[in-house]
Structure 1
């Protein structure tokens, strides 16, 4: 799959300066544009690319040799470049007309609570969509805890949300996290399973009794360690509330910064949990969508 660019944006689709084209065969973007815009000089066509006036599947592209495939939608704005989304708390990793994948910063709520309504990833992305289309709506597909950073996605319509949530375990192929835990798990690779329940204080805990609980399975692998901490990769076989945090506590290696679930230290002043990988089947195109973000720098530093 083509790697997404760092900054994703949307075109103003109701602008008369925009023209939309459907790619008929595989090739590179510049060659496609030369053939498409044969009434324009090559210098002009190149300037459309360099000034962010060309988008492929709703994503502005400036790369001349960017691969295009049959069925892709190319939009050219003949008047001005597409605006660029920038926010200090999150970045857009991928966007098309159906889905948005973001990299959320730690300390930012995924969606609103009774106390906090506006400072959420949901509101930030929703406001961004409404800038170009006041009728745009956004739908939650899954959540990350407030202090967990990393990849999460939203749907742009109710039908996509219902389709993906109904077949979540079939469509979401791989979800992985990285965490820094206290001590070094032994063995260095394994799995943890339990029935998760929640008490009156909203604390999730493991139980051997499945009555009233939800089955949870987490696979883990130590990637790097020193004498005090270990960098661990975690793969979710199920997606339960606080699952990773509870399971790391269960094996005696709480995630650093996670006071709620047994951590005794916080050397990097945050919960050391990051959603690093997301792979799923696109609900419309059926393409294999794969996204990965680097391990946060302070995670690497603390286990040196």
Structure 2
């Protein structure tokens, strides 16, 4: 069992104890310090301290006993992972479609956490006192692409700070039904839980109301496919690049649907299956059928860039399009462009 000893200087007197200790023990968050105090794992000199709100005493020495990490509740599972990068602090993987990040009702097994507990066995130092990977962001179960997890508490704290400050570069590729007008721009509209369906998110139509959390998505069309109607230039579908400033639940799916370009295959925000496309012939049938049959939201986390929270090295990782999206795009490219 490791013990940290921290001595309070004159200028520290009067500071709340959990705040003071967390500022000195960089590997521990304030919530973790608070939990340790309540568990009786913190002592002032030789006397246990049980109140995290207690004021720091000048010249006192505080001892924090760090128990060995307890086994995580999810069970490790030997699930193949496509690892893009790994060191003693971090691991980045290319998540496949169908893999949930966390165990939850309907997905208690086969999750990324289960896989990481097996893959990183013996190299997890304990996040919040539990032997588990530190997940600081998520992508939907049916979304593919780059995801980072921490293996140590200092790395977890550092990653969390980067995400909170939005010091992360994130680019997604999406295939949409139709295309937004204009073909590039920014959606800066807050997102909140839908009042009509608590399982959905929605754009807050009155940003001045203070409801919801700010959400910013920059988008641009990389390629458009076919046309909606004869004699128009409106695309039937598009390959979009979306860059996030914020990371709200379902952000891209909600924002793109709001500007009239929902993701192909999106079961929640797509409203209609398939695409509206003018044309005829085998190529037209193949393209529209591919869109109609696509089994998930056509969304891929293509790139993740950040400064390593421990080594301070600039990192940037890309994941190629999964086969199903590549095949969808290939079929859409065959759509006729009208007469």
TM over 0.5: yes
Q: Who is 2:219 aligned against?
A: 220
Specify which of 231, 255, 262 is matched with residue 254 of structure 1.
262
User: How far has the Cα of 1:205 moved from its partner?
Assistant: 0.3
What pairs up with 1:219-238 in 2 under 5 angstroms? 219-227=218-226, 228-238=236-246
Q: Who is 2:202 aligned against?
A: 205
User: How far has the Cα of 1:170 moved from its partner?
Assistant: 4.6
Work out whether residues 171 and 280 of structure 1, in 8 Å CA contact, stay in contact via their aligned partners in 2: no
Q: Structure 1 runs of 4+ off > 4 angstroms?
A: 131-136
Change beyond 3 A, Cα 1:299–1:281: farther
What pairs up with 1:106-125 in 2 under 5 angstroms? 106-125=97-116
Change beyond 3 A, Cα 1:298–1:133: same
Change beyond 3 A, Cα 1:281–1:225: same
Work out whether residues 102 and 113 of structure 2, in 8 Å CA contact, stay in contact via their aligned partners in 1: yes
Change beyond 3 A, Cα 1:115–1:192: same
What pairs up with 1:1-304 in 2 under 5 angstroms? 87=79, 90-130=81-121, 137-170=132-165, 172-199=167-194, 201-207=198-204, 208-209=206-207, 210-227=209-226, 228-265=236-273, 266-296=292-322, 297-304=326-333
Output the CA distance in 2 between the equivalents of 1:250 and 1:221. Answer: 15
Work out whether residues 92 and 102 of structure 1, in 8 Å CA contact, stay in contact via their aligned partners in 2: yes
Kindly name which structure, 1 or 2, has the bigger radius of gyration based on alpha carbons.
2
Q: Who is 2:66 aligned against?
A: none
Change beyond 3 A, Cα 1:234–1:132: closer
Q: Who is 1:32 aligned against?
A: none
Change beyond 3 A, Cα 1:170–1:201: closer
Work out whether residues 188 and 214 of structure 2, in 8 Å CA contact, stay in contact via their aligned partners in 1: yes
Q: Please provide the CA RMSD for this pair.
A: 2.2
Flag structure 1 segments of 5+ consecutive residues without an equivalent. 1-85
**What TM-score does the superposition give when structure 1 sets the normalisation length?**
0.67
Work out whether residues 166 and 245 of structure 2, in 8 Å CA contact, stay in contact via their aligned partners in 1: no
User: How far has the Cα of 1:271 moved from its partner?
Assistant: 1.4
Change beyond 3 A, Cα 1:189–1:133: closer
Output the CA distance in 1 between the equivalents of 2:250 and 2:110. Answer: 21
User: How far has the Cα of 1:206 moved from its partner?
Assistant: 0.6
**What TM-score does the superposition give when structure 2 sets the normalisation length?**
0.60
Q: Who is 1:64 aligned against?
A: none
Flag structure 2 segments of 5+ consecutive residues without an equivalent. 1-77, 227-235, 274-291, 334-339
Matched pairs, number? 218
User: How far has the Cα of 1:300 moved from its partner?
Assistant: 2.7
1 or 2, which has the higher strand percentage?
A: 1
User: How far has the Cα of 1:167 moved from its partner?
Assistant: 3.3
Output the CA distance in 2 between the equivalents of 1:204 and 1:141. Answer: 20
User: How far has the Cα of 1:134 moved from its partner?
Assistant: 10
